Structure 1
Amino acid sequence: MQSTSTFIKRKLLQFIVALVLLLLINLLAFTIIGYQSVKRNAGLVKPNDVANQLINEINNGKEEININNTILHTLKDNHIWTMLIDEQSGNIAWNIDLPSEIPHSFSRSDIALFTRYYLKDYPIFTYVTEKGVLVLGFPKNSYAKYPANYYDIKGMRALQNI
């Protein structure tokens, strides 16, 4: 009888040690992966930050658009292209590093579509300025866009009751 209880105690102790080791390994892996993810995304520029700087330059009241060197370096270093679409004609009024595959004229339905989705597989971010529609194009596979930004209110309220 003594050997059975000793056996059970030993196996229970081994189980607890294995469980603690597993938890420590998971915590270590989570920390390493999290650190690398933050480090990898630390240099990723945010679309709204770039857009706010550009909008300030575009809306400066002058007829001609001149962008300062800091913003130009940010665009070039992050491979971001930009264009300003005239609201009336749909033509590109101004651009920086526009890829050759991007058309130079857009209908309103074209603008509506790429605002929510992609333009030639480029993730696009659009902003309205005093001089037209500002479009920022980021490198392919840099951002994922989720076009469904609506939720069923009844369904969301049902989640509260779970």
Structure 2
Amino acid sequence: MKITCVTVGKIKEKYLTEAIREYEKRLSRYCRLEIVELADEKTPDGAGAAEEAAIRDREGERILKAIKEDAYVIALAIEGKMLDSVELSRKIEAFGTGGVSHIVFVIGGSLGLSSAVMKRADYALSFSKMTFPHQLMRVILLEQIYRSFRIMKNEPYHK
């Protein structure tokens, strides 16, 4: 199975980069992982709703260009469905047995995802009602994907 993480924004902190590298290494046993890092738009202080929507749309265009036509797209969105780790593992496993060979997880920028990206998404996943920095969310997502594969293989880790 191939898993792609399409993310907006660069990782700036060394400790997050190291954590991402560690999960990339761990995941290499279970799947082909690709991380696509897209440029974010700068949001001026005091930006209005129309300007924020335009920023989301520009980021959204870049996101959509990075998604292959045949991919199953999971958008990380605060309004998405919350799953526990076992449920996420079962969902990923079901995709594999159901013929899905490529899953794309999308992490938007600081303003979230455009309506076009949400329309393209096959599933909206929420990790919490809280907002997380997109840099940290990348680490959390990779950890949960890793945990999912460990659960699928009945390997100790998930307790």
State the TM-score, normalizing by the size of structure 1.
0.27
Which structure: greater strand fraction?
2
* Structure possessing the higher relative contact order (Cα contacts under 8 Å, 6 or more residues apart): 2
Which protein shows a greater Rg? 1
Which structure: greater helix fraction?
1
State the TM-score, normalizing by the size of structure 2.
0.28
